[in-house]
Amino acid sequence: MEISELKMEEEKEWDDYVRKSKNSTFFHQIGWKRVIRDTYHHQPFYLVAKQDGRISGIFPSFRIKYPFFGDISISLPFAPYGGICADDEQTSLQLFEFMKKSNANDSIRSTEIRSMSQIPDIGTLDISYYSMILSLHSDINAQWSGLRKSMRRYVKKSQSANLEINLISKNIEGFFNLYSRTMRDFGTPGHSDQFFKNVFREFPHNARIAQVDHKGDCIASILLLEFKDMIIYGWGASDENFSHLHPNYLLFWNAINEGCSRQFGSFDFGRSMINEGTFLFKTGWGAEPHQLYYHYYPQRTLNTKKTNPKRQVFAAIWKQLPVLITTKLGPKIRRSVP
């Protein structure tokens, strides 16, 4: 087996491997490398394992610099999962060993691997997070029956509110305006509009915005990604002034409905922790938790979880700032909170 850092001329072969591998995810694609590199200027460190000249495993990561605290490596930043994608466990372990030695040589103090599968004997493990995945049916009536009664009630109320649905919008501005306000209200620094423009640039056929309009104004919007037979909820926001119309429920139901009609196999609602608000919302649609495995070698050095008391203090302050300020400062802070 030969392991080396990815060369530019190997990027097409990398993406071919990602498309064919049963263990790959949306975020393993080379396009995600360019989105992060071009938006935040972090250093990509992408490894390729080959046997007999053919790729048998990949390991994408980024090195993020922190003045005074030392550099860290993450696979993958700004994504719920990524990690090693390989044909077998032996290849995975060799890729990790190569990464470990390279990081030690370059004084990288910590490595974080966000994975959909567990890798034995790699540092410390955090199993707090789950990816909430809904199986899609060809029979839309069966899909509807799988919703919690309260969800069906909210969808029906929203359907009677004379709202307009657009499932293939490219309205980045409308999405970003809602997103900026929502992230401020959550107490979380958000991405820049350039980040989302870069997503659409790299994935023009696999990224779209679904939105709900009320009298010509966008009141709810979600950015969806598509990979193989899965639809992935990436980011979303809504106008709290219209919460009584339940636009989010109408939006998600129509996105699910469309996924069924297009014969997608699943809808990934994104990452959650057990019993938090988003977890309960997602289970209402019938989504089931799939364990995510976050490995840290040698141990976690950067704690950005919502349960961190320092983050809670920061969030309380952030919520009080004007949206104009948080929109400008948010991406600068977000760059260091991957």
Burial 278-297 (b: 16+ CB within 10 A, else e): ebebbbbbbbebeebbbbbb
Residue 312 above 80 pLDDT? yes
pLDDT of residue 299: 82
What share of the chain in percent tops pLDDT 70?
Answer: 100
Please identify, in words, the CATH class of the domain defined by 130-291.
Answer: alpha beta
Q: Domain 2-127+293-303 belongs to what topology?
A: Aminopeptidase (3.40.630)
Sorting pLDDT into bands at 50, 70 and 90, what band is 122?
Answer: confident
Fold equal for 2-127+293-303 and 130-291: yes
The whole-number pLDDT of residue 69 equals: 75
Q: Write out pLDDT tens, residues 237-285.
A: 999 999 999 999 999 999 999 999 999 999 999 999 998 899 999 999 9
- Residues 54-102: pLDDT tens digits? 999 999 999 999 877 789 999 999 999 999 999 999 999 999 999 999 9
Kindly provide the residue ranges of all beta strands, DSSP E only, lying in the chain, ordered along the sequence.
2-5, 43-44, 47-51, 54-59, 62-64, 71-75, 85-86, 108-115, 124-126, 129-135, 164-169, 207-214, 217-227, 230-238, 266-273, 288-291, 293-297
This prediction has a pTM of: 0.95
Beta-strand ranges (E) seen in 87-128 are: 108-115, 124-126
Domain boundaries, the chain: 2-127+293-303, 130-291
Chain-centroid distance of CA 38 in Å reads 17
| Confidence band for 140, pLDDT divided at 50, 70 and 90 | very high
